[in-house]
Amino acid sequence: MNFHTPILLLAWKRPKAIKEVIDALRCHSPSNLYIACDGPNPSRTDEAELVFETRRVIDDHIDWPCSISKRYSDSNQGCKKGVSTAISWFFENCEQGIILEDDCVPHEYFLPYCQALLNNYKEDSRIWCISGSNFQEGRWRGDGSYYFSRYNHCWGWASWRRCWQHYDPEMRCWPQLRDSGYVSSLFDTKAETLYWTNIWDRLVAEGQPDTWDYQWTFTCLINSGLTILPNGNLVRNIGFGADATHTKGEQHFAKTWNAPPELVHPSFVLRDKDADAYTFDNAYNRARARRKSITSLPSKVARRIISLTSRIMQSAKNYLALSGH
């Protein structure tokens, strides 16, 4: 099978992971590949070898006839600049396409799913992103095989030039929006407003964390752009671990594939508010989810846990005060 929608592969220093992604693509033999690979960090002696091995795997394992365009960096650009400029390069050359990072392994249904929806919603200015990730943990949303969300998960996704052209990695309009009082209009709860305000304030003021995707979420939100999310997970994230840039902790989502049986369009193009609330509580604001899990215990047990936590924190403060810290 020959697949014609352009695909951007984002690689760096994980040769085993990129090989798994390439192997997953082989069943469709995509004919139009764009490959971006960041360079090694000079302060880390092992990175040059890993980057070289990653690029060798790319050359050796893409063994089907296809057009390949490469954008390889000699130096390390970092997550923000390296990824965002690669995506901009991709959309300068393509009206629409699919983006996969080297730790996002697609199900065989993912490419046809993206291609069909890219074509179906090409002229629909309400839709800004198509994602292969599902964070609903088995909850089916709506009457189609996908639903609409405000959250644009980027573990395997697709979009159009018409949307990405609005992307600003520096978020220059954020201070104006924050001070306008309209930020709360983007969200359903004060907790969401505070969560994202803190993230965007830090991004603009400190340039931290070194990432590109919070800015893409901001772009979609301020343009009222909807994301299509599948009622089942179409991309496995294999990037959690010590060598990850951001996902170093325990993996909670996208561990396995569970693709919907067929593509069924939902009856209405409306955001699923309940699904977004679940995503915020359980995927983004996990500290809040942990507090809710404690308070859902029998009241006596919950009170004991909260009381013990408070005593430990107070003891720590007393120790620091006595020791002069």
Each residue's pLDDT tens digit, 54-96: 999 999 999 999 999 999 999 999 999 999 999 999 999 999 9
Residue 266 CA to residue 280 CA, distance in Å, equals 23
**Mean of the per-residue pLDDT values for the chain?**
88
Residue 154 CA to residue 107 CA, distance in Å, equals 15
Mean pLDDT of 121-128: 98
Task: Give the confidence band of 301 by pLDDT, cuts at 50, 70, 90.
Answer: low
pLDDT at 29: 97
pLDDT at residue 34 greater than cutoff 90: yes
pLDDT at 249: 52
pLDDT at 123: 97
pLDDT at 242: 52
Continuous segment of H or E residues that includes residue 164: helix 161-164
Cis link prior to 65 (omega < 30° from 0)? no
Compute CA 281 distance to the chain's CA centroid, rounded to the nearest angstrom: 16
pLDDT at residue 48 greater than cutoff 50: yes
Task: Give the confidence band of 2 by pLDDT, cuts at 50, 70, 90.
Answer: confident
pLDDT at 257: 81
pLDDT at 265: 98
* 185-to-106, 181, 221 alpha-carbon distances in Å: 34, 8, 10
Mean pLDDT of 264-281: 97
Mean pLDDT of 290-295: 43
Task: Identify any residues that bridge with 229 across adjacent strands, giving them in sequence order.
Answer: 147
pLDDT at residue 223 greater than cutoff 90: yes
pLDDT at residue 3 greater than cutoff 50: yes
* 180-to-9, 53, 184 alpha-carbon distances in Å: 38, 49, 10
The CATH number of domain 7-284 is 3.90.550.10:
yes
Q: Which of 192, 219, 147, 194 is nearest to 283 (CA)?
A: 192
Task: Give the confidence band of 45 by pLDDT, cuts at 50, 70, 90.
Answer: confident
Q: Which of 231, 229, 213 is nearest to 154 (CA)?
A: 213
Task: Report percent pLDDT > 70 for the chain.
Answer: 83
Task: Give the confidence band of 253 by pLDDT, cuts at 50, 70, 90.
Answer: low
pLDDT at 306: 45
Compute CA 74 distance to the chain's CA centroid, rounded to the nearest angstrom: 25
What is the secondary structure of 311-323 as a DSSP string? HHHHHHHHHHHHT
pLDDT at 247: 46
pLDDT at residue 19 greater than cutoff 60: yes
Judge whether 38 and 12 are in contact, CB under 8 Å.
yes
Task: Give the confidence band of 319 by pLDDT, cuts at 50, 70, 90.
Answer: very low
* 114-to-122, 164, 220, 281 alpha-carbon distances in Å: 11, 16, 18, 27
Q: Which of 3, 132, 6, 123 is nearest to 69 (CA)?
A: 6
Compute CA 94 distance to the chain's CA centroid, rounded to the nearest angstrom: 21
pLDDT digits (tens, 9 = 90+) for 305-315: 545 555 555 55
Residue 31 CA to residue 171 CA, distance in Å, equals 35
Judge whether 105 and 235 are in contact, CB under 8 Å.
yes
- In this predicted structure, which of 20-34, 105-119, 255-269 has the lowest mean pLDDT? 255-269
Task: Give the confidence band of 182 by pLDDT, cuts at 50, 70, 90.
Answer: very high
Task: Give the confidence band of 248 by pLDDT, cuts at 50, 70, 90.
Answer: very low
Residue, of 20 and 251, whose pLDDT is higher: 20
pLDDT at residue 126 greater than cutoff 50: yes
Residue type, 116: A
Structure tokens belonging to residue 174: 């954020």
SS (H, E, C) 95-162: CEEEEEECCEEECCCHHHHHHHHHHHCCCCCCEEEEECCCCCCCCCCCCCCEEEECCCCCCCEEEEHH
pLDDT at 297: 45
Task: Identify any residues that bridge with 159 across adjacent strands, giving them in sequence order.
Answer: 97
Q: Which of 106, 121, 147, 94 is nearest to 18 (CA)?
A: 106
